[in-house]
Structure 1
C-alpha cells in the first residue's frame, strides 16, 4: 500500500461508482477520502483500506476539474503527489496538472477503472458481455434490422415496400395497397426500422378516432411499439406545466378530429416531429374541415406516410391533391398529371419485355413509383373466393306510428338467417347509426337476441367492448352490426358471413365493406348476403354492381372511375326506374371491361411491378430468416436471465415464461413486466399465440439486455483459471478487447458504415503479443471458474504490470483504429456518392425525385466524414488467465 498524502487521488475498490476520491485527512490509523461526485466521505483503516491509487501513464488521456482534456506526456512525483505534464486538446498548449486538480469524473474506460480498483467478475459474465457486443455489432450491420421482430408472416409485397421506403432519405410516400393487403403492417415495419436504426426519433400518427385503439393494439402486439394517446384532456393537463405538451413523448397518436379542430396546431408544429403517418388519407380533401392543418403538418414534417386503400375514392382530383401533399413541387398541375397518366400504357408494354436491372431502371424513371406503392390482390394471390347470395324480398307498406322494422321482410329474413347459420359469426353493415340501433332493438324484441353494435356515436371503449363481445366464442354475440364506419379500419377475418343491409352508391365503399373480411388472414370463403326489397334502390344497385362490374365476387380497381362516368344515369334510375335500365347495365359492363384492360396494361400495371419486385423481396426474406438466428438469441437471453436473476419456466418446446425475481442484479430491465411474460423466439408460435411476446433482436427487452451489458461495467474484468499441462504453473495471459464507436447524429445511421468495431489483443506474462497466434475460443475452451477472492488477489497482484502492457501496446490499437476509419471513409464516400449520382440521373427522367433527397445524401456523407474524424475508443473488457494445471 502506498503512503497516503493529502490531495492524492484514489478509487474505492468496493464502490467504483463513487468516482475518483481525494485524500482529505490522514490521522494515524485512519484515512478520510472525499468523493466529490457524490459529495460523500468514507473513513478507512489505513492499514487495509480497499483503495487503489489512480496513476495515469504517458499517452493516456486525463481530464481537468474545469472539464478540459489533455494527453499525458510525462509524470513526476513531488511530496507524495503526482504531477502530470501534457498537451491540452482544445488549443494544443503545454500544461502541468497536479493530481489534486483532476476531475472527479473518471474519464477512463470502465474496464481499466475496475482493473485499477482490483475488481473482477465471474468468467461467465465476461463471456456474456463479449457475446452482447458481438451480437450488437452484427445486428447493426443487418440490412433487415427493425424488420426482424414484426409478428407477421413473411409476405414479399409487405417486406419489399417496408424495406424500400424505410431506406429512403426523408421518405414521402402513399401506401395504397388494396383493402386487406396490410398497409398498417407496412407502416409499422417502416416505423420500426426507422426508429431502431435512428433515422427517425419523433413520430406523429393521425388516424380516425374509431381506429385509434386498434392502432395502439396493432403496434404493440405486432411490433412491441408503444404509442402515447393525446386527446384534448391530456394535452390541456400537460400544458399546465408550461412546456409544449407534445415534447413529453416520442411517439404520439391523435385522432384526425383533434387535428381538424386546430386548437394545438402551433404546439404540434413546434414539437419537432420527424415522421408523420396519416391513416385513411382519402378523407383528406381541400374542402374538408381542417385540411389546412394537415397540409401544414405535411409541409413542416420531413418524412410523411399517407395510407389509403382507395386512393381515387374522391376522384382523380382528390388523388392528385394527396400526392400534392407529399410533393407540391412535383404535383402542381392537374392537367399535366392526367396527361402523364395517359402515357403509361406504352411504358407498361415495354416493361413486360424487360427484367432485372433494365426493368428496375424503367420503373424508377417513370410514373409515380417513387411516391406511391399499390399492390393488388389479383397479383399477390392466396385469397379466398367470394360468393354473392342475393335475397329478393317483397315490398311492404309500414303501418303508421309503428317501428319500421316490425314488418320489414329484411328483418324477418335476418332472424331466420342467423338461426340457419348458427354458430357462425355474421358481420352486418348498413349506412347509419340509427339503422344499427333500430336493427339491434328489432332482434332484441322479436327474437330475444343480444346483438353487438358498432357506430360513430359510441365511445372508443364502447366500440372495443362491442368488438370483444362479438369475437368471444363462448358467450359472444353471433352478429356485429356496424354503421358505415365499420367498413373502415376494423378487421374481422375470423368471420365468413357478411350481410349488407343496404348498399352504398360508391363502389369504393362497397369494396371497403367486403375488405373487412376479405383480407390477409382469412382462411375461409366469404359469403356476401344482400337482402333487398323488390323495386328498391338496392334492387337496382345489386344488378349494377354484380352484372355491370362483378364488384361482389372480384376486387374492382375501376369502380370509382365507373361511378364518375355513370353516376348521373344511376341517380336518375334510382329516382325513376323500377329496375336497372338495360342500356345502363350494358354500358357499364362494356366500359368496365375497357377500363380493366387499360389499367392492366397501363398505370396500375406499372404500379404493381414497382410495388413488389420479387427478386429483391426474396432477398429480404432470406436475410430475415438468416439474421433472426433464433437459437443464438434464445441461448444468449437464457444466459442473460440466469446471470441477472430473472426466473424462467419452460412451458413447452417453443414457449418460456420469464419473470423478475427478488434477486435481480439490477432493479428493473426494460421490456420485462413485473408480472412476467410468456415469450417465444419462433415466428410460427408467435403467430399462433398472439398473446405472448415474440422475442427478436429488435425487441425492447433484448435491446435493453444488450445495452445493459455493453454500456455498464458488468463482466468488464475477469480472472479465469487455465489447466494446461503444457504450460508452466503460474503462467498468465492478458486478453484485451477494445471497442470503437461513432458519436454521430442518429438520423445519419452511421452504424451502417461504422458499426461497433472490435479489436482484440493477447499478451503473455512477458508482454509478448500472441493475438494472431492464439484464438479467443481456444482459451475459452480451456478456461474455468475461479473464486472471487482469489480472482481479486490476482488482479491486485498483476494490475500494475497489466497497465504497463496496455500502455506499451497502445500504438498498435491506434493503428488499427486508423485503418478502420480509413476503410469506413472510403466505403461511405463511394456508396453515398454513387447513391447521389443515381438520384441525380433519375431526376433528369423522373421529377418525383426531390431535391431534398439528393441534399439529404450529401448531408449524410458530410456528417459521416465529420464523425469519423473523432471516433470513441474504449477498453471494453479485460480477461486475465492464470495457468493452474
Structure 2
C-alpha cells in the first residue's frame, strides 16, 4: 500500500496552480485527488504520483476553509491526518485539522514551495537569477525603449524621440521636412511610452491611404501589435465600444471624421496618446473649423498626450500653423494676432544665438545677447562669456548653457520639432531632366484657339466642366472631357507623345535611359494614371500597377508591394496624386512627373516619396512638357521662380498664396508669365532670408542637439553590442523549449519544439517560427529577418514570465568538494526589492527590481562575499526531484532557520539600495523641475499642469522608494556530498 490516506492534503508538482488537493480515494494501483479551488479531479498511479504532501511547521501561517488564519506552533497526528496547533488571529490557542485547510491556498512563494518540497530544475534557478541581473541593468539604461526598434541610428530622430518621450503627457508637433522620418519618430515615442508604462492605450488617426502602411511599419519596425479599425470591424463588435478592442487602435481619418457615432465612442475611451498624421489636412480658420479639425480638437482635449505629424506646417499659411499648435495647447495659443507678434521677435533671438558663437567679441555682439535676456543666471553666464580673461573651457561651458537657455525660453521649439535637409545633411542631389515635346494636333488646336480668343476659356470651362487653371494644365483631361468632339475619337494615350516618350525611355539602356531601373510615375488625375498604365501594357508590354484613390487599402498595398519587390517586381508604378503622400519609395531613384501639380507643396510631396533618409542615389526627376504650353510655363515658374526642384524650402504655400491667381492668368500669356516669375523670385529670396533668420533658425537649432543625440546613440550601441544577450538567449531558449538553427551570416531560425512552453510571441506550436539576427545592419537589410534585442517581444515575454511567476524560484543541487564534509547544507537565498507603484511612474529607471544574494552555511555563517554565484554554479550537480524532496523533508527545521537568518542579513542591504535610488531620482527630477520652473517664467509653452504633474511624480516616487521592502524571490538548497557521490 502507498502512504496516501483519504482527507490528506497534497499538491501537484506539475500543476501547483490547482491549489491544495484532497485525497478522495486510494488503493494499490491509483490515487484520486480533488482540487477544490479549481474543481478539478486527477487520478494518478500510486507508484509514480507527481504529488507532494503538504506539511507545515512552526511559524508558518495557514488559512482555514472558513477564512481565519492560524500561526503554527506544533502538530500532532491522528489516524494518519495532521492536526495543526497554534494561535488564531485573536491570539487564542486552537487546533486546525489538515482536512479543514482552505482549498485556495497557493504555494507560489519561494519559501512555501521549498518547505512543501516543490523544487525546480537547477538551470531554471540560474536563469531566474541572471534574468533579475539583466533586467536590473537594462531597465536603468538611458536608451530603454529606443534600442529595440529596427531603425538606423539617425541623430535628429533619436534626439526628438528621447526628448519628447521623457515628458509627462507630451503634446508636440513633429514637422520635419518630407523624408526625415516623422513616422519613425512617432513610433519611437510610442514604443518607449508603452515599454516604460507611461502609456497603455493609443489612438492613431491617419489618411485612409496610409492605414496599412502604418500597420506594417509599427509591426515590422517596432514589433507593436495594432488593431486596425473600420466600419466593418466596428459592426462586428455589436453593442460594445469597438475602440476598446485593443491597446493600440489605428483608424482612418476619412472614416472617423465622417461618422459622429464612432467619434462619440472614441471620445468615451481613455487615451494616453493621440497620434494624427498629415495634420495639415485639418481645416481651421478664425471663423470656422472643418469636421476633421473639430474631431481632433475634441479627442486632443480628452487625451493626455498628442503627437501631430505634418511635413508642411505652413501649407495653408501662418494661420494654419497656428491652428496645429492650438490643438496642442489651446490656452497657450488662443490668439492668432499675438502669435504673429511673437514670431516677429524670433529674429532677435536667432541673431543673439549667432552672436554667442563670436563671444568674447565686440560690444555689439554682447549687446545683441543682452537684449533678449534678463534673468540673473543668464546675465552671469553672459558676463563669463564676455570676459576675455576666462579660460576657453569656461567660455565653452557658458556658451553651451546660455544657448540652451535661449532655445528653451524663446520660440515654439518646445512644442514643435522641425528638422530641414539643410540642417540634417547627407541627402542626395536632385537632378531635373526636362523634355520638350510638340503637342498633338488635338491639344494644339485648343491651345491656339485660346491664344486667339480670350473668351474661349470661358466656353471651354463650360464645355468640359473642369476648373481653371486645371483645364489648361491637364490637356489629356481636357481631351477626355471633350469626348463628344468628332475629332476626339481615339483614346488620349494613343495621341499623346508623352506616352511614346516614356516607352522609349523605359527601353533605353544607354546613358540617361531607364531600362532595368525602378521608375515611379505620378500623374495628377486618376483617369490619367489608369489610361497610362493601359498604354504601357498595350503599346509596350509593361505590367504597371496603378495606385489611386479608387482602390481599396489592400489593393493599394498590393500595388506598392509589386513595385517594391526587387527580384520579381514590376519596373514601373503609376500613381495618381494620392501616391505622393505618405508612401516611401526610397528604393527607387527615377521619378517621372507625367504632369505637374498646381501647388508647390504637392510638388515637394511627389519628390519626397524618393528623396528620403536612406536614399543612396541622386534623384532623377524627369518632366515631359509640351512646347510653349501652360504646362511648360508652370514648370518655368517652379524652376526659375523658387528653385522648387532643387531642394525643399517650406515656403511654397506662401508663394502660391501671393501669386496663385496671377499664375493662373499668366498660363496663356508669355509676357505676363515672365513678370510673375520675376516677382516670385524676389519674394522667394526675401522670405527665405527672413525665415532662415527667425523662427526656422531657432527650430533647427532646437530640433536636434548633437550632444544629447550622440549620448542616446552611444547608449543604444552599448545595448547592441551587449555580449551577455546571446548567452542569455541560448539558455532561455533551451529552458523554454525553443529550437534554434544557424542559417549562416549571423542569422538563426527559431522554431517551437514539441516541448515548448505555450504562448511565446511568434512561436505558435505547429508553425514555422521566424528568422532573426542580433545585427542591426542585417535586420535593416532583410525585411524577413527580425532583430533580437533586450526589447524584442520574445525576450520580454520570457523575462516577464520568469520574474512574475514561480519558474526557478526553488532548486536543490549537490556540491562535491574534498574540503567539505558530506551531508552539510547551504542555502543560497535571493531577495528582491518590492516597491508597489503605478506603472506610469516608471519607477524602474531609478529602482528596478534589485537582487540581494545571501549564501549561508547550515551554522548560519555568511559566505556571500567568499563564494560568487558563477563560481558556485560551476561546481554544482543536479539531483532527481524525488531525492530533492526527501532531502528537504529531512532538514526542514534547519532550512526554516536559514530562511529567517538570510532575511535578516538581506535587510542590512536595503537602506543603501533605497538611498542610492532616491539620489538618482532627485538628481534627475529636481534638476528638471528647476529648469522647467525657470523656463515657465519666460516660455508659456511650459504648461502649468506639466509642472504640477512633475511635482506630484517626484513626491510619489519619493514615497514609493521610501516604502521599498525586500521579499524572498528564490532559494537554492545545496547539499555537500562525498567524492564517490554521483
Q: In structure 1, the residue corresponding to 2:723 is in which secondary structure?
A: helix
Deviation at 1:106, TM superposition (A): 3.8
Give the 3 Å change call, closer, same or farther, for CA 846–640 of structure 1 in structure 2: same
CA contact (8 A) 1:741 1:871 kept: yes
CA distance 1:29–1:99, shift in 2 (3 Å): farther
| Structure 1: runs of 5+ lacking an equivalent | none
- 1:10-159 to structure 2, matched below 5 A, reads 10-13=10-13, 15-21=15-21, 34-40=34-40, 50-55=51-56, 57-58=58-59, 72=71, 80-85=82-87, 98=96, 103-106=102-105, 109-159=108-158
Change (3 A) 1:808 1:74: farther
1:380 aligned partner:
424
Q: Taking structure 1 as reference, are residues 103 and 612 closer, same or farther at Cα in structure 2, changes over 3 Å only?
A: farther
- Structure 1 distance, partners of 2:880, 2:3, is 30
- Which residue of structure 1 aligns with residue 271 of structure 2? 273
2:388: which partner in 1?
A: none
Going from structure 1 to structure 2, the CA distance change for 1:605 and 1:484 (only over 3 Å counts) comes to same
Per the TM alignment, residue 839 of structure 1 is displaced from its structure 2 partner at its CA by 1.9
Measured against aligned partners, the alpha-carbon deviations of 1:41-64 in whole angstroms (never above 9, x if no partner) come to 568999998433342654x66556
- Asked if the contact 2:85/2:93 (under 8 Å) is kept, the reply is no
Whether 2:251 is the aligned partner of 1:254: answer yes
Tell me the residue number matched to 2:498: 410
Distance 1:98 1:435, change over 3 A: same
Q: Deviations over 1:287-331 (max 9, x none)?
A: 434332121111111111111111111211111111100100111
Q: Look up the match of 1:669.
A: 760
2:708 alignment partner, SS class? helix
CA contact (8 A) 2:9 2:21 kept: yes
Shift of 1:713: 2.4
* 1:392-413 CA-partner distances (Å, limit 9, x unpaired): 2223331333333322222222
Relative to structure 1, the CA distance from residue 579 to residue 226 in structure 2 (aligned partners, 3 Å threshold; closer, same or farther) is farther
Q: Is the 8 A contact 2:56 2:116 kept in 1?
A: no
Provide the C-alpha distance between the structure 1 equivalents of 2:542 and 2:903, rounded to a whole number of angstroms. 81
| Residue matched to 2:489 | 401
1:651 aligned partner = 743
Q: How does 1:298-317 map to 2 (within 5 A)?
A: 298-317=300-319
For 2:553 and 2:571, the matched residues in 1 are separated by: 21
What root-mean-square deviation, in Å, do the aligned CA atoms of Structure 1 and Structure 2 show?
3.0
| CA distance 1:468–1:299, change in 2 (3 Å) | same
Which residue, out of 552, 565, 569, partners 2:662?
569
Q: Look up the SS of the partner of 2:744 in the other structure.
A: coil
Counterpart among 581, 592, 604 of residue 696 in structure 2: 604
Structure 2 vs 1, CA of residues 66 and 360 (structure 1 numbering), >3 Å: closer, same or farther? farther
Whole-Å Cα distance in 2 between the matches of residues 84 and 625 of structure 1?
Answer: 58
- Deviation string 1:423-444 (CA, Å, 9 cap, x unpaired) is 1121111212111112222333
Deviations 1:589-626 (A, max 9, x none): 22222222222222111111111100000000110111
Q: Is 1:581 aligned with 2:673?
A: yes
Match of 2:461 in 1: none
What are the superposed Cα offsets for residues 783-834 of structure 1, whole Å, 9 maximum, x if unpaired? 2334444434333333432122112443333454455445545554564344
2: distance between equivalents of 1:803 and 1:32?
A: 31
Aligned-partner Cα distance in 2 for 1:94–1:856: 49
Report the Cα offset of residue 215 of structure 1. Answer: 0.7
Query: CA 1:487–1:41 in 2, change beyond 3 Å: closer, same or farther?
Result: closer
From 435, 443, 446, the counterpart of 1:391: 435
Larger radius of gyration: 2
CA contact (8 A) 1:535 1:579 kept: no
Which residue does the alignment assign to 1:419? 507
Q: How does 1:684-723 map to 2 (within 5 A)?
A: 684-723=777-816
What does residue 348 of structure 2 align with?
A: 346
**For 1:601 and 1:67, how far apart are their aligned partners in 2?**
75
Q: Is the 8 A contact 1:630 1:681 kept in 2?
A: no
**Are positions 1:660 and 2:662 aligned together?**
no
Matched ranges for 1:415-564 at <5 A: 415-420=503-508, 421-564=514-657
Q: How does 1:799-838 map to 2 (within 5 A)?
A: 799-817=892-910, 819-821=912-914, 823-825=916-918, 827-828=920-921, 831-838=924-931
Query: 1 CA distance for matches of 2:569 and 2:343?
Result: 49
Q: Which residue of 1 aligns with 2:184?
A: 185
User: Residue 205 of structure 2 corresponds to which residue in structure 1?
Assistant: 206
CA distance in 1, matches of 2:15, 2:522: 67
Contact 1:118–1:799, Cα closer than 8 Å, also in 2: no
Deviates more, 1:596-605 or 1:217-226: 596-605
Deviation at 1:356, TM superposition (A): 2.6
Q: Residue 722 of structure 1: SS of its match in structure 2?
A: strand
Question: CA 1:820 to 1:630, structure 2 compared with 1: closer, same or farther past 3 Å?
Answer: closer
Counterpart CA distance in 1 for 2:740 and 2:942 is 52
- Would the alpha carbon gap of residues 720 and 281 (structure 1) be closer, same or farther in structure 2, given more than 3 Å must change? same
CA contact (8 A) 1:428 1:501 kept: yes
Distance 1:829 1:253, change over 3 A: same
Per the normalisation by structure 1, the TM-score is: 0.93
Say which SS state the counterpart of residue 441 (structure 2) adopts.
coil
Q: Is the 8 A contact 2:856 2:902 kept in 1?
A: no
Q: Quote the Cα distance in structure 2 between the aligned partners of 1:114 and 1:332.
A: 62
- From 381, 404, 422, give the equivalent of 1:360: 404
1:835, distance to aligned residue in structure 2 (A):
2.8
Q: Aligned equivalents of 1:803 and 1:620: distance in 2?
A: 47
Given the superposition, is the C-alpha separation of residues 306 and 447 from structure 1 closer, same or farther in structure 2, using an over 3 Å criterion? same
| 1:752-774 deviation digits (Å, cap 9, x = unpaired) | 22211211111112122222333
Closer/same/farther in 2, CA of residues 98 and 834 from structure 1, 3 Å limit: farther
**Displacement after TM superposition at 1:117 (Å):** 2.8
Whole-angstrom CA distance in 2 between matches of 1:433 and 1:161: 37
- Structure 1 counterpart of 2:730, from 607, 625, 638: 638
Matches for 1:761-780 after TM superposition, within 5 Å: 761-780=854-873
Q: CA deviation at 1:374?
A: 0.6
SS at match of 1:427: strand
In structure 2, the CA distance between the partners of 1:393 and 1:83, relative to structure 1 (3 Å rule), is same
Q: Does the 8 Å CA contact 2:834/2:849 hold for their aligned counterparts?
A: yes
User: How much has 1:747 moved relative to structure 2?
Assistant: 1.4
CA shift digits 1:539-592 (9 cap, x unpaired): 122111111221101222322222222223222212x41366333222222222
Q: Is the 8 A contact 2:206 2:277 kept in 1?
A: yes
1:737 Cα deviation from its structure 2 partner: 0.5
- How many angstroms does 1:487 deviate by? 0.6
Q: How far apart are residue 253 of structure 1 and its match? A: 0.5
Residues 431 and 28 (structure 1), Cα distance of their counterparts in 2 relative to 1, 3 Å cut: closer
SS of equivalent to 2:433: strand
Moved more, 456-465 or 802-811: 802-811
Q: Deviations over 1:461-504 (max 9, x none)?
A: 11112112222344433221111111101111111111112212
Secondary structure (helix, strand or coil) at the match of 1:768 reads: coil
The gaps in structure 2 that reach 5 residues or longer are: 358-398, 443-486, 509-513
Contact 2:70 2:86 in 1 (8 A): no
Q: How many angstroms apart in 2 are the aligned matches of 1:497 and 1:235?
A: 41
Whether the 8 Å CA contact 2:22–2:35 is kept in 1: the answer is: yes
Q: What TM-score comes out, normalization by structure 2 length?
A: 0.84
Give the paired residue count.
875
In the aligned structure 1, how far is the partner of 2:875 from the partner of 2:663? 85
Contact 2:2 2:28 in 1 (8 A): no
Are the equivalent residues in 1 in contact too, given 2:19–2:106 (CA < 8 A)? no
What is the distance in 2 between the residues matched to 1:854 and 1:347? 25
Show the counterpart of 2:456. none
Rate the CA distance shift 1:74–1:410 in 2: closer, same or farther, 3 A: same
Q: How far did 1:30 drift? A: 11
Q: Separation in 2 of the partners of 1:47 and 1:526?
A: 77
Cα shift at 1:34:
4.6
